[in-house]
Chain A
Amino acid sequence: MKKGVSLFLLFVALLIVFPLFFRNPFPRHLLIMIMMYAVMSIGWNIIGGYAGQVSFGNAVFFGAGAYTSAVLLTKLGLSPWIGMAGGCVASVALAVIVGYPCFRLKGHYFAIATIAVGEIMAGLFMCWDFVGAAVGIYLPILPQSFRNMEFHATKLPYYYIMLVMLLFAIGVAFWVERSRLGYYLRAIKDDPDGARSVGINIRKYKLYAFCLSAVLTAVCGTFYAQYVLYIDPPSTFGLTISIDLCIISLIGGLGKLFGPVIGSFVFIPLIELTRVYLGSEGQGIDLMLYSALMIVVAILRPQGLYGLFVRGSR
């Protein structure tokens, strides 16, 4: 365990000093994306990994976070930080509305229902004029400041904001793992009937997990909107985002604290680099690469790559 802690501290220290050595925009951007997907995958892992409920619709929370803050900023001029809080509220509401009925469904039915929810949201936002419909929303270029969550000269502030979010997400997952909630979720995953027979309110704890998952995804939505300064339905509600989160968690290790972090550090560079080096000629190769990885891991190593990186710890 001691070794695990020092390994983690080393990891954090490396992330803190990374931008001092890499001054070009691309490596910094790459790390920001890795950390952002790690945060969202940690969120996915709470519902998908610990509780075993495969959600193919977590992008709806990403979209909810992005659209809530973007609308509050463009229509009311509110700071994105307030928008981020609003996005969390919206995504928790969404998680309850979707989760309450859908957690009655088992396995495949739940997975397909979450695809349906995601596609419904994308479809509705595509024709909702108030939020820009298919055109999306261009966020206004404001003077750079922490309050505006916009930085034009350098990506550095974005980098450290994301790093803080990552540490927060790891903290949340750590707490879930140690808390009563974590034990309940694992019980629900391994033996739902047994969990029910000892008096665990299954739906309630699945909902808690789903709400935590939603919040961690929504804050990334707001961050993404402020980072890219443009959002539209496919880039925020798209099914591919939801799928990426599942794959990252699977590759790293389902239901493991650092699984999604490891998965993100493997997966995101893989697709970003294939995109950069193969360009449009190689369109599709990235998909083939990571889907092959996904199939191989699911068949041969369902516990993920976790054990290869973190030996001996939990």
Chain B
Amino acid sequence: MEIFAQTLVSGLLIGFVYALIAVGLTMIFGVMDIVNFAHGEYLMLAMYLAYWGFALLGIDPLYSLPGVTLALFGLGILTYYLLIRKIIDAPMLSQIFVTFGILIFLRGFAQFLWKADYRAIPHSLLSGNLQVAGVYIGLPQIVAAVGAVVCNGLIFLFMKKTRLGTALEAVAEDKEAARLMGINSDRMFALAWGIGIGSVGVAGALLSSFYYTFPEVGGNFCLIAFVVVALGGFGSVVGAFIAGVIVGLVEVMSGYLLAPSIKFVVVLFLYLAVVLVRPQGLFGKA
């Protein structure tokens, strides 16, 4: 029973982080109809930034988080202006190939510079466990989950309560109409990339204190983010949040009930089941 509760809690906690990664993906997709296949690779870069901040400068990931987020925000905007802007109206094939190309490029970049070693931050500010009612929870995991929830909440508030967020949503709804209302869609696209990649920066810094950092770390997270976004509905921020928790629970529970090696297969089956039975996801528009 205690193992069950333990598994449930850890699934819930990692689910919040999945949600944060997926929110960035769903925002870019919702605003400009482009799937960022390189999403997990930006997460990998964020984790390396946090890792090197600790290894070289001795800055704890918790303190470097704002810096990492800002750097990734800038990288997202840079990516938009350098590459994505040129393929907004290109055929879908070109769009897929360009973001997929970014994925391979960043992975190669990390392999070349930092080799294939697994790196971990040994004694971060947050280490140790909390014991609640017989369930042990790692402190970094709790902080990551709380940070992810706060960041998700901020993005949600930004989208709903600020003029800029409303403008972003207007562009997502109808590019042409938004342009007639005097909204510069080009800048909105850049902003979507900034926020989308920036939120991955938050997730990367939070993950780096309890997860191994290596060049291929983005792969699984990216696939999970696709599953979350499909389940929640492409473009839906709230959907991504709820779906993230569901996917976290499914992954951990199938690892517990079946076998750890097969848990990822179960999550991918979940993707296929969702897109085939309910292509718009739980909260997407039909």
Interface residue ranges, A against B (CB under 8 Å)? 48, 52, 54, 101-102, 104-105, 107-109, 111-113, 115-117, 119-120, 123-124, 126-127, 243, 246-247, 250, 254, 282-292, 294-295, 297-299, 302
Q: B96 contacts A108, CB within 8 Å?
A: yes
B285 at the interface (CB under 8 A from A): no
A292 CA to B82 CA in the complex, in Å? Answer: 13
Which residues of B lie under 8 Å from residue A52 when comparing CB positions? 93
Chain A binding surface SS class: helix
A105 CA to B86 CA in the complex, in Å? Answer: 26
- Across the A-B interface, the 3 shortest Cβ-Cβ residue pairs: A287-B108, A284-B112, A284-B111
Write the nearest CB–CB distance from B234 to chain A, whole angstroms: 8
Q: B104 contacts A287, CB within 8 Å?
A: yes
Contact A298 B112, CB 8 Å, known A113-B271, A288-B105 = no
A299 CA to B100 CA in the complex, in Å? Answer: 13
Contact with A along B251-271 (1 / 0, CB 8 A): 000000001011011001101
A299 CA to B85 CA in the complex, in Å? Answer: 10
Stretch from B69-77, B126-134, B272-280 contacting the other chain: B272-280
Write the nearest CB–CB distance from B118 to chain A, whole angstroms: 15
Option from A54, A109, A284, A302 in Cβ contact (under 8 Å) with B108: A284
Contact A120 B97, CB 8 Å, known A126-B261, A291-B108, A302-B91 = no
A237 CA to B261 CA in the complex, in Å? Answer: 16
Option from A54, A104, A292 in Cβ contact (under 8 Å) with B105: A292
Contact A298 B223, CB 8 Å, known A109-B230, A116-B272, A285-B108 = no
Size of the chain B interface, CB-CB below 8 angstroms: 44
B4 at the interface (CB under 8 A from A): no
Option from B100, B116, B265, B275 in Cβ contact (under 8 Å) with A123: B265
Which residues of B lie under 8 Å from residue A123 when comparing CB positions? 261-262, 264-265, 268
Q: A127 contacts B262, CB within 8 Å?
A: yes
A288 CA to B105 CA in the complex, in Å? Answer: 5
Q: A294 contacts B279, CB within 8 Å?
A: no
Q: B101 contacts A286, CB within 8 Å?
A: no
